[in-house]
């Protein structure tokens, strides 16, 4: 059970990183990834960019639910909640 939740958490992290890279590439206006991340941090919308990256977790969650791998889906959901809390705290400070 713990192994399945951990696998779901890894998939959730990977999906979030891939989503962040895609969001930065698509919304970056032709700049490279590091430039977009640095400018997002300076301009104060890095939290929004991370939240956009978490959209891919939705797909991973529903794939695990459809395959009846509930513990893996729980891991993806746990990572998504952690990302939401992180962006909330990041927005405050």
| pTM for the structure as a whole | 0.87
Average pLDDT over every residue of 34-60:
89
Domain count, the chain: 1
For 46-55, write each residue's pLDDT tens digit.
888 888 889 9
Average pLDDT over every residue of 1-21:
95
Cα separation, 86 vs 80, whole angstroms: 10
Residue written as token pair 């990977």 = 14
Domain holding 45, by residue range, is 2-92
- Predicted pLDDT at 90: 81
Q: Confirm if 33 and 21 have CB atoms less than 8 A apart.
A: yes
């Amino acid at each position: 059970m713990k192994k399945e939740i951990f696998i779901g958490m890894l998939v959730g992290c990977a999906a979030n990183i891939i989503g962040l890279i895609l969001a930065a590439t698509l919304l970056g206006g032709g700049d490279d990834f590091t430039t977009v991340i640095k400018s997002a941090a300076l301009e104060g919308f890095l939290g929004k960019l991370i939240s956009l990256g978490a959209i891919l977790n939705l797909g991973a969650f529903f794939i695990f639910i459809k395959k009846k791998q509930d513990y893996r889906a729980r891991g993806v959901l746990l990572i998504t909640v952690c990302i939401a809390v992180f962006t909330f705290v990041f927005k405050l400070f």
